[in-house]
A and B are shown apart, each in its own frame.
Chain A
């Protein structure tokens, strides 16, 4: 399997523009997580899905952020309008349920580095 695939790897945009980040989880995984990583705050959980259904979006910073998972093989994280403080690396991770539970091992993508000017 190719692992979790994220695109774009790098995105530079201007304040006010819409940003869409994409994720393809590992086939067969039924959990999908979106994280944001910054030096100051580390890894922050934004939202996660189980079987394409959003379970907990309490980490989404504000209404400018939205996430969807229309099917088991695709998810998007959208920021509209973007602001400089949204600059970070955004990770998607997927997992499956085993003896360790649903989040026993998260498989992360390589991330999307977002810079908002």
Chain B
């Protein structure tokens, strides 16, 4: 019940394309869903987050879509750039509990 399942494990997209990363959770007690971005040799950093009372949140080229009934959420990157190549982690959080997905290695081809 504490798992967050993330897919795909890896993704290659042409520059300008729209990579989509999907996550599913089981525990309905989670009330905050962040995405973290990690570049090689660095620690993960918060990218964007959403609460379950909204269905979509957009920040720049990054959009989270949230489906509460399906217990699923996804990250979309519009007009993807080679600089977006990184590992992306979804997570589910309540209070001091945060569970991470296993990550998606995204590569944007120039």
Q: List A contacts of B41 (CB < 8 A).
A: 110-111
Q: Does A25 contact B (CB under 8 A)?
A: no
For the residues of B in contact with A, the DSSP-based class is strand
Q: List B contacts of A91 (CB < 8 A).
A: 43-44
| CB atoms of B43 and A109 under 8 A apart | yes
With an 8 Å Cβ cutoff, the count of chain B residues facing the other chain is: 21
Bound-complex Cα distance A109 to B41 (A): 10
| CB atoms of B96 and A102 under 8 A apart | yes
Determine, out of B16-24, B53-61, B62-70, B100-108, the stretch whose residues face the partner at the interface: B100-108
Given contacts A31-B96, A101-B95, contact A106 B46 (CB under 8 A): yes
Given contacts A41-B102, A108-B45, contact A101 B94 (CB under 8 A): yes
| CB atoms of A105 and B46 under 8 A apart | yes
B103 CB to closest chain A CB (Å) equals 5
| CB atoms of B32 and A104 under 8 A apart | yes
| CB atoms of A111 and B102 under 8 A apart | no
With an 8 Å Cβ cutoff, the count of chain A residues facing the other chain is: 23
Bound-complex Cα distance A83 to B79 (A): 44
| CB atoms of A105 and B43 under 8 A apart | no
| CB atoms of B93 and A104 under 8 A apart | yes
Smallest Cβ-Cβ distance to B42: which chain A residue? A110
| CB atoms of A42 and B103 under 8 A apart | yes
| CB atoms of B96 and A101 under 8 A apart | yes
Q: List B contacts of A4 (CB < 8 A).
A: 43
Q: Chain A residues in contact with chain B, CB under 8 A?
A: 4, 31, 41-43, 45, 48, 50, 55, 91, 93, 100-111
Nearest 6 CB-CB pairs, A to B?
Answer: A108-B43, A42-B102, A102-B96, A103-B98, A43-B100, A105-B46
